[in-house]
Structure 1
Amino acid sequence: MSNRKVLVLSNMYPTEKAKAFGIFVKNQVVALQKAGLDVDVIAVTNPSMKKQAVLIKYLVWLLKVLIHAVVRGRRYDVVHVHYVFPTGILGLLYRKLWKTRFIVTAHGGDIERMAHKSKRIWQWTKYILQEADHVIAVGPKLYEEIHEQFGVAKEKISIINMGVNREVFQPMNKQEARKLCGIANDVIPVLYVGNMIEQKGLLELVDAFAMLKQEYPNANLYMIGQKKDGVFYQRLLQRMEQSGAQDIHMLDAMNQSELAIWMSAAEVFVLPSHLEGFGLVALEAMSCHTPVVGSDVGGLSYLLSGGAGILVEPRNKESLYEGIKTVLSDAKMREQLIQKGELRAQENDGKRIVERVIQLYSPPEGVRDA
């Protein structure tokens, strides 16, 4: 199996300039390579969402893949695409031309948002999912949606998340981590990591933090991520001003080893998303032994279940405030969250996860790659 040649296609892939853009895809590629597979990648590496930039980056990517499929496509045993539409269309090309085994990973936004943008995109999404040799859903809710809404047989879908890199995301001494982050000893750090977009529940987070500040004057909110939507970012700044809450710090996206230090430094990690395919960033915080408060949506419902985190009502600032307050005020609860979060991180260790992906790259017994 190790000599199988794999092509990964993704509409998100990180660079030095955009370190967090699709980092989970790169992590899986590196894990596959470490396992001995020969993996090539053709991906979009520009995170800009400006209309002209989007058009140009997708056109360049399309042309690159078209030429590659015709000239070098025959070399691959497997084409693995991330995000159903539009990436899946390009993956289908290899399947049609060379009968390459075709694997699709659905990450959440492609099913819950993109597929509903128009009837045509919905039909394309359905076609790609049904044509794939196998579909990977990153969470159980997504698995059900793919089966029920798009008519994909359950035996053709696996629930496999992107896994946490436990070599990077590991606990370190809180005082040491805070020193490295420049956080004073008397500060209570509350952390959010992710894109600065409305669907991540950041307006509610600012409101909940303003309420928290009344009881915990030393609380500081650190929001780390890419400002993907300029219009929303202005609204967020406005909300911060209206709330009157001091000590909210906005930081640019960082590489994973830096993020791991911030996660270790935090007293509580918050992910108040409106939608979330899996919520890998929450798992990374758990892996650093930081309690997590997250919305009861998508993959987070599973990830934080059974006392591994605190689930709160989405789009509800009061519920979010109560969740954060519970972590800060109850030392026993905090300890339990850390212990159960550690077990959840062990279950979802990237090394174990990638073995399951590799198994899917081989056709089932008695089925030829055809």
Structure 2
Amino acid sequence: MTDILLAVPGPVDLATGGYVYDRRIMAALAALGHEVETLALPAGEEARAETIRARLHADNAPAVGAMLIDGLALPGLAPLLADLRRHARCPRLLALVHHPMALETGLTAERAAELERQERAALALVDAVVATSPATAALLTDGGWTRHPVAVIEPGLSVEAAMPAVPGDDGGADDGGIRLLCVASLTPRKAHQDLVAALSDLGGAPGGRAWRLDLVGPDTLDAEHAGRVRAAIDAAGLGDRIRCHGVLSGAALARCYAAADVFVLPSRFEGYGMAFAEAMAAGLPVVGCAAGAVPDLVPVSAGILVPPGDVPALAHALGRLIADADLRRQLAAGAAVAGAALPRWPDQARRLAALAGLSEAGLLDEDKS
């Protein structure tokens, strides 16, 4: 028997935070001894529904105890979920909401309204809802997106906690400049163009301190937007200071965190913000925006948050950190403390297993957020 089946739009190996969450929590469930399975869904609402139906009703496939549906697949699934609930073999249905798709940046008002209608319809037909942050849970609850208490299961920590800083070390690249790091997919919500504009406004750093920026993340999810980001870099004359690496993982990504002095990501909204968590765990001071779950994740002791879309404020925050080694050390220490307190994947997998009915304890009483 398959204890838990994850239904997620394929391909499932994308480097975005939501897909990383999916892969790692399923791996952690498997490590705990649960039988897990991932079902990669094709594009198109009808094709996705048919793929799920075929898997659950196949005579030669293991029965499924619980099905975890990634929020990216929810729009359009309400008719299927209603049909499944009429069958005696219907698994326990759980929705995993990283953030509502209707809140994605760049949608027309009509498309956002249609996505919200579809997501609400699907959420009304599941047995439980999981959010990846208290902020997303509050959004779903306060906005009436679901009648269920929302269980909060944040991502686990994906990097080792930071080593203590060497006394007197003020950071900086080998050339004496400050290494900035941004880890995010090149999509509109991540607001890379705000970052480019802020760095362009900043120009030469206060006190003459130079800077360089490493942009890490997939650039194929929205190729047109990625092209606009590169064009903005060229138009600002920053091609020699900003390097686009594309997708990095494992040791290569760990080296980027280790080499950086400051982490910056001016997202317009985050359902959680796994890159912020990884940056703090690596002991990096953070510059970001007070949007979505970021203020809950990044304490004032670990970074500087500015209003989303406020390019002058972003430039000012970056300028302060580039110029002030003491401030960098202070916030780096706070980031390391915050990072050390973040949850780990095995603990989060146990909590999801309980919610899915794979263990005796339940979560709803303690996780009403």
In the superposition, the TM-score normalised over structure 1's length comes to: 0.81
Q: Is the 8 A contact 1:81 1:87 kept in 2?
A: no
Offset from partner CA, 1:116-167 (integer Å, 9 cap, x none): 72554323211222222211112222212211223534x621222222224x
Distance 1:123 1:204, change over 3 A: closer
Offset from partner CA, 1:261-297 (integer Å, 9 cap, x none): 2111111111101111111111011111111111100
Equivalent position to 1:214, from 200, 204, 213: 204
The offset of 1:4, in angstroms, is 7.1
Matched, 1:328 2:322: yes
Matched, 1:66 2:61: no
Residue equivalent to 2:156? 163
Residue equivalent to 1:255? 249
Distance in 2 between the 1:244 and 1:68 partners? 52
Residue equivalent to 2:90? 99
Q: Is the 8 A contact 2:56 2:63 kept in 1?
A: no
The offset of 1:75, in angstroms, is 1.1
Distance 1:162 1:301, change over 3 A: same
Distance in 1 between the 2:247 and 2:199 partners? 21
Residue equivalent to 1:152? 146
The offset of 1:315, in angstroms, is 0.9
Equivalent position to 2:353, from 343, 354, 358: 358
Equivalent position to 1:125, from 119, 132, 137: 119
The offset of 1:36, in angstroms, is 1.5
Q: Classify the secondary structure of the residue corresponding to 2:37.
A: strand
Residue equivalent to 2:365? none
Q: Is the 8 A contact 2:101 2:115 kept in 1?
A: no
Residue equivalent to 1:200? 190
Matched, 1:33 2:30: yes
Residue equivalent to 1:348? 343
* Identity within the alignment, %: 21
Residue equivalent to 1:244? 237
Offset from partner CA, 1:249-272 (integer Å, 9 cap, x none): 111111233212211111111110
Q: Is the 8 A contact 1:289 1:338 kept in 2?
A: yes
Q: Is the 8 A contact 1:80 1:91 kept in 2?
A: no
Distance in 1 between the 2:144 and 2:353 partners? 25
Residue equivalent to 2:332? 338
Query: Larger RCO: Structure 1 or Structure 2 (Cα < 8 Å, ≥ 6 residues apart)?
Result: 2
- Tell me which protein shows more helix as a share of its residues: 1
Q: Classify the secondary structure of the residue corresponding to 1:263.
A: helix
Count how many residue pairs are aligned between Structure 1 and Structure 2: 343
Q: Is the 8 A contact 1:140 1:299 kept in 2?
A: yes
Distance in 1 between the 2:302 and 2:209 partners? 27
Code of the residue aligned with 2:92 in structure 1: it is R
Equivalent position to 2:4, from 2, 6, 9: 6
Distance in 2 between the 1:192 and 1:65 partners? 36
Q: Classify the secondary structure of the residue corresponding to 1:250.
A: strand
Residue equivalent to 1:178? none
Q: Classify the secondary structure of the residue corresponding to 1:150.
A: coil
Q: Is the 8 A contact 2:2 2:37 kept in 1?
A: no
Show structure 2 runs of 5+ residues with no match.
Answer: 167-172, 363-369
Show structure 1 runs of 5+ residues with no match.
Answer: 46-53, 176-182
Distance in 2 between the 1:67 and 1:139 partners? 32
Code of the residue aligned with 2:298 in structure 1: it is L
Distance in 2 between the 1:341 and 1:88 partners? 40
Equivalent position to 1:309, from 298, 303, 307: 303
Code of the residue aligned with 2:29 in structure 1: it is L
Q: Is the 8 A contact 1:139 1:298 kept in 2?
A: no
Residue equivalent to 1:229? 222
Q: Classify the secondary structure of the residue corresponding to 1:131.
A: coil
The offset of 1:343, in angstroms, is 3.3
Residue equivalent to 1:190? 180
Distance in 1 between the 2:346 and 2:313 partners? 35
Code of the residue aligned with 2:224 in structure 1: it is V
The offset of 1:324, in angstroms, is 1.8
The offset of 1:366, in angstroms, is 11
The offset of 1:214, in angstroms, is 1.0
Distance 1:137 1:19, change over 3 A: closer
Distance in 2 between the 1:343 and 1:350 partners? 18
The offset of 1:12, in angstroms, is 5.0
Residue equivalent to 1:266? 260
Distance in 2 between the 1:69 and 1:363 partners? 18
Distance 1:341 1:359, change over 3 A: farther
Measured on the aligned residues, the alpha-carbon RMSD in Å equals 3.2
In the superposition, the TM-score normalised over structure 2's length comes to: 0.81
Q: Classify the secondary structure of the residue corresponding to 1:165.
A: coil
The offset of 1:38, in angstroms, is 0.8
Distance 1:290 1:365, change over 3 A: closer
The offset of 1:186, in angstroms, is 3.0
Distance 1:235 1:165, change over 3 A: closer
Bigger mean CA offset, 127-136 vs 296-305: 127-136
Code of the residue aligned with 2:96 in structure 1: it is T
Q: Classify the secondary structure of the residue corresponding to 1:347.
A: coil
